[in-house]
Amino acid sequence: MAYKERHNRLTDSWLKFVIWREHHIKERTFLILLSLVVGVLCGAAAQLLKYLIHLIAGTLTAHFSSTNENYLYLVYPVVGIVLTVLFVKYVVKENIAHGVTKVLYAISRRKSRLKVRNMYASLISSSITIGFGGSVGAEGPIVYTGAAIGSNVGQAFRMSPKVLMILVGCGAAAGIAGIFRAPIAGMLFTLEVLMIDFTGMTVMPLLVSSISGATVAYILEGYNAEFFFAQSEPYFTSRIPWTIALGVVCGLMSFYFTKVMFMMESMFRKIKAQWAKIIIGGIIIAVLVFVFPPLYGEGYGAINSLLDGNVEAIVNGTFFYVDRHSIWFLTLFIAAVTLMKAFATSATNGAGGVGGTFAPSLFVGALTGFLFAFIINNLNIGVELSQKNFALMGMAGVMSGVMHAPLMAIFLTAEMTGGYQLFLPLLIVSTLAYFTIQYFSPYSIYTMRLAKAGDLMTHQKDKTVLTMLKIGNVIETDFKEVHPEMSLKEMVDVISVSNRNLFPVTDGEGNLKGVVLLDDIRNIMFRTDLYPKMHVSRFMAAVPEVIDVNMPMEKVMDIFDKTHAWNLPVVKDGKYVGFVSKSKIFNSYRKVLRHFCDD
């Protein structure tokens, strides 16, 4: 009883503070303060996630041999997936896979509201998955965690949905900035990937959160870049044609990576039993990690080896006993690892692991760029490319293509490696990779799922607002129903008590059969001699089109444009629900536009 009283007192005190804030601190000023708080919290969460991953992975692999095979690679990833599945099923009790996609859905369909448990669920589950060798990244989970922190901080202060959306973006930006120590890339991630508009109200909070998240990382980890890269080989303008070629190759590799991910995702979706997913996915990831050890975890060790010029280190721990200096062996091994990464990542997630595609895209990009330069150098055509430089460019290229975020890819690669001297080639590769994959797919790996369901927000405000509108909020139900067997006299009686000039015709089971328009029967409705002779079935009209209650609003508007109708009936499983009108949609559209899109 005493605990309940204390809780009630705390709740009342908090509510009084929230009300005081609403009256004394302007929303924009308070938003900056909240963005600072969110940035610090998300920066700390990012550091905690990195610490847990390194602690688990370091403990498990500390005794592994670098010159012989390690059979525990066959066990660790499966154990990690099982532990993750148990944690998600019995503790979280919610599907938390595809974190970035979940954030995009929350922005477009849930008014940017995320649950309290999302602040820790992805953090814990992904640290288990990756620490035990799951071939995924920590960045998707930290984006989900950061977005949930931003959302719940905003909800605690009863902020409007417009401000909640910005705070969700702040949390995501701070998560990226904190895990990579890349504040500019964190902000650009929110603008390009989460597609929050670049306006005066959004830029400052995003910057404050990104900088504060990165600052936490700098305080705890120091000022060294995430990946060690020293540009010992200059970039010459004569290499621009090869840089252009690499951009196209990275775009094609991005398309391959995305297609494999969705192919595998579709395969696992067809498997209903969780135990079957664990067995199939576990076998795939265990075998791949055993044969190709660089696929273990995030793969950042392999990236560092390539950027450091230590190529042979990438084959450490394999059971291949051939000459590690063999050009053909290195070429085939690196090519196989590059192509298998998409299968390893999708198998990890499909089996029940939790992780993102951020790190895998960096991994594939580094190997693609290195392999491109390695092959050219060994063709003996009189060209010598810097393998380190091209590995760095490849990181930006594949990330740009996979995420459809060229600016973020450029700045993230530069910030986390210190490779600012390669800014021009980074621009070239990232831009060309983006345009190449655009030819094959207009959507990123994150947005494709939402685009198919009509739940995708975009930078086009018209489409964004239509995405936010729900058909259920604009249905009008004050129409009087009539039935086919009713006489004209009964029809006139219904008209007398209705304030509408449109009447849905339904049968005894509620199925929509047509409509009666007042204008169509005005010439006979006062002819009493026709009252017993005429029935609704004779003068009802067919509807030009029917709207399903689950139809996305963009498709609803397309139907209105095609039929030139002003009112259309709405059905659910064939049963009449109500009508939706253009005027009602336009009024709701204007309200949402003012609410979400004003600076």
**CA 135 from chain center: how many Å?**
19
pLDDT attached to residue 325 = 67
3-class DSSP state for residue 566?
Answer: coil
> Sign of the CA dihedral 349, 353, 355, 359?
negative
- Assign residue 93 a region: left if phi > 0, alpha if psi is -120 to 50, beta otherwise? left
Mark whether 53 and 195 lie in a shared domain: yes
Mark whether 198 and 69 lie in a shared domain: yes
For the chain, helix, strand, coil in percent to 5 are 65, 5, 25
Which one of 418, 453, 488 terminates a domain? Answer: 453
Give the CATH number, domain containing residue 374. Answer: 1.10.3080.10
Which one of 427, 453, 479 terminates a domain? Answer: 453
Which one of 221, 251, 274 terminates a domain? Answer: 221
pLDDT attached to residue 593 = 56
Residue 230 belongs to some domain of the structure: no
The residue type of 390 is F
| Token pair 């660089």 in the structure block, residue | 294
Mark whether 447 and 579 lie in a shared domain: no
Mark whether 492 and 443 lie in a shared domain: no
Residue 434 belongs to some domain of the structure: yes
Domain that holds residue 517: 464-597
**CA 94 from chain center: how many Å?**
17
Q: Which residues pair with 568 in a beta bridge?
A: 580
Mark whether 383 and 263 lie in a shared domain: yes
Nearest Cα to Cα of residue 362 among 312, 437, 297 = 297
The residue type of 82 is V
Angle between helix 200-221 and 27-61 (nearest 10): 40
Other CB atoms within 10 Å distance of the CB of residue 427 = 17
**What is the C-alpha separation between 409 and 394, in angstroms, rounded?**
10
Mark whether 360 and 405 lie in a shared domain: yes
Residue 447 belongs to some domain of the structure: yes
Mark whether 379 and 297 lie in a shared domain: yes
Question: What radius of gyration do the chain's Cα atoms show?
Answer: 29
Q: Which pair of tokens denotes residue 107?
A: 């922005």
Q: What does the pLDDT profile of the chain (599 residues) look like in tens digits?
A: 565 666 566 677 778 888 888 878 888 889 999 999 999 999 999 999 999 999 999 999 888 876 677 888 899 999 999 999 999 999 988 888 777 878 887 777 777 889 999 999 999 999 999 999 999 988 889 999 999 999 999 998 888 888 888 999 999 999 999 998 889 999 988 888 776 666 667 789 999 999 999 999 999 988 877 777 777 677 888 889 999 999 999 999 999 999 999 899 889 989 989 999 999 999 999 999 999 999 998 888 888 888 887 787 788 777 765 566 678 888 899 999 999 999 999 999 999 999 988 899 999 999 999 999 999 998 888 888 988 899 999 999 999 999 888 999 999 998 888 878 888 999 999 999 999 999 888 777 777 766 555 555 544 455 555 555 667 677 888 888 889 898 988 888 888 888 888 899 998 888 888 888 888 888 888 888 888 888 888 888 888 888 888 887 777 888 888 888 888 888 888 788 888 887 777 666 666 655 555 44
**What is the C-alpha separation between 372 and 350, in angstroms, rounded?**
30
Residue 396 belongs to some domain of the structure: yes
Angle between helix 327-351 and 240-270 (nearest 10): 40
pLDDT attached to residue 94 = 86
**What is the C-alpha separation between 196 and 214, in angstroms, rounded?**
20
**What is the C-alpha separation between 77 and 128, in angstroms, rounded?**
10
Mark whether 315 and 175 lie in a shared domain: no
Mark whether 199 and 260 lie in a shared domain: no
Residue 81 belongs to some domain of the structure: yes
Residue 227 belongs to some domain of the structure: no
Q: Helix H segments across 199-299?
A: 200-221, 240-270, 274-291
Residue 1 belongs to some domain of the structure: no
3-class DSSP state for residue 86?
Answer: helix
Contact by Cβ (8 Å): 470, 540:
no
Q: Which pair of tokens denotes residue 51?
A: 């610490």
**What is the C-alpha separation between 203 and 223, in angstroms, rounded?**
25
Mark whether 512 and 571 lie in a shared domain: yes
Q: Which residues pair with 567 in a beta bridge?
A: 581
**CA 213 from chain center: how many Å?**
20
Task: Show Cβ contacts of residue 110 under 8 Å, excluding neighbours closer than 6 positions.
Answer: none
Domain count, the chain: 3
**What is the C-alpha separation between 444 and 456, in angstroms, rounded?**
11
Q: What would the DSSP string read from start to end of 13-65?
A: HHHHHHHHHHHHS-HHHHHHHHHHHHHHHHHHHHHHHHHHHHHHHHHHHTT--
Mark whether 310 and 255 lie in a shared domain: yes
Contact by Cβ (8 Å): 277, 350:
yes
Residue 4 belongs to some domain of the structure: no
Mark whether 85 and 138 lie in a shared domain: yes
11 burial level (CB within 10 Å; 0-12, 13-18, 19+): exposed
Give the CATH number, domain containing residue 551. Answer: 3.10.580.10
